Chain A
């Protein structure tokens, strides 16, 4: 384009903004709304064992049918995530996060809103089939997998 060709700066500004905004909206809408891993029913502890995963352990069960099971430790990109579940009469009554990333203040901020939401989703769904909390993608992923492993060992 020649420098002396007449072109209005306004047109250029409108074009640049429109291109940027529409490009971004397109990128954002192309992303799936939940992780593909959500469908992952069995986390296959063997494949993720070794460096990443420490085995889940069954806790004690009482006469009233209350059982506590600790899930696998899942290594996420921000740090390990591990949950402990409580089952009463086959129903999931409590999920506690035993380990979660706390390396920087931002992690703590994320955990403070993400963990309660993940817990209530899990209790509502009564399974590991829960949505990712936005802004806490990796923590959600780890949470889901650890929860699934706990449910698996409780069921098995």
Chain B
């Protein structure tokens, strides 16, 4: 770089004026969730004058777990409602991880609730813990809406079982996904017994209203963002496959045409969930990042043929209808807080990086892309990247295995050697989990603060 100091500064100022970092609302949202949980506990506290004995403790523990489970269940569904604030500002991957964690926790609460309440009822009826099964059957027969609740809980057991790590890995994605959709049914079925048998809702009309409002607004958001918004988007933009191009061994680009595609509001670094209306592909949608900044008449995704679905992409014929949902993802220019940016791509993780490399504002020398692949043949989109680098004076580096298969050295020292001011950079990263983990550690070792390492991962 030969820019003068003054010129560099002026350019940097210019760039910084175009950078408006937006903080993720994650912390505020988590605080709101905790406040809601405290409110639910307060409801229990106000409606429970006293607890007489051991049996009362068991029953009340059952009530607390039930109330918390009912509250969290609504939020677990909300996390998957594709609300833009969550998908685009917190980040789809992070929300999905929250969903997985809170879903497991909520299911544990549900099972604890059933066990504690039935144990308590059995003790009340003068029976022992051993009669809990009979007690459960009696309660299902006698209490209002308990039959529905039992079916719903059965569905939760099924959903929980199919989501346990080893089971899920053995199941085809589609099977797991369709079982997971039963969650809506299970939540609906278990809702009614909360209202009709829940102490707190029977005696507190306000609490009942609040509960209806909570579940009602989650339902509305799900219908709006998961059903109506995608329908509107696809009616308006009419997307079709234009062409399929082989970029590198096993890596294809799909060009998608449509109407007024720039009006979808997609940014570089974001992705859509794509469904191709071709035989064998129409029943599942998959998230693929845009590999170029969106154009009014054209979008492009670049995909590595690893799964069933992605392997079939290369057989797509031009004209195939495309159903897309999005844009989603928070790894956009808004995450940036510094003038200098390092983009790190591992393999096909180049796709969002390629789009950002082209569009991130920056003066010559501000943007650096480090591209890791097995061999130079695997460096998909290389020619384009080189052209962009030339055009805007950005730096482009690659790291491939040596001819004898040895992995390149991406360590803190090596990164600092290549980019002496690496600790002044924002880093955007996309690649396989193991790669991302090791680069993350190297970056932290080189002095990049965690809050400036932006990464999205879809492996859980």
Contacts and interface: CB of A to CB of B under 8 A. Distances in A.
Contacts of A113: 124-126
A130 B63 CA distance: 25
A36 B49 contact: yes
Count class of interface residues, chain B: 35 or more
Interface in A90-107: 104-106
A45 to B, nearest CB: 21
B387 interface: no
A152 interface: no
Given A2-B453, A28-B60, A135-B124, A33 B142 contact: no
A3 B97 contact: yes
Contacts of A16: 105
A33 B453 contact: no
B277 to A, nearest CB: 34
A106 B457 contact: no
A28 B41 CA distance: 11
Interface residues of A, number: 35
Nearest to B197: A106
Interface in A20-68: 20, 24, 27-28, 31-37
A11 interface: no
B450 A2 contact: yes
A131 to B, nearest CB: 6
Given A4-B455, A28-B61, A141-B49, 8 more contacts: A3-B455, A24-B61, A31-B51, A32-B49, A106-B142, A110-B124, A134-B53, A134-B55
Interface of A: 2-6, 12, 16-17, 20, 24, 27-28, 31-37, 77-78, 104-106, 109-110, 112-113, 131-135, 137, 141
14 contacts: A2-B440, A3-B455, A4-B436, A4-B440, A24-B65, A31-B48, A32-B51, A33-B51, A35-B49, A106-B143, A106-B197, A109-B121, A134-B124, A135-B121
Interface of B: 41, 44-45, 48-53, 55-57, 59-61, 64-65, 93-94, 97, 101, 105, 108-109, 120-121, 124-126, 142-144, 197, 202-203, 436-437, 440, 450-451, 453, 455, 457
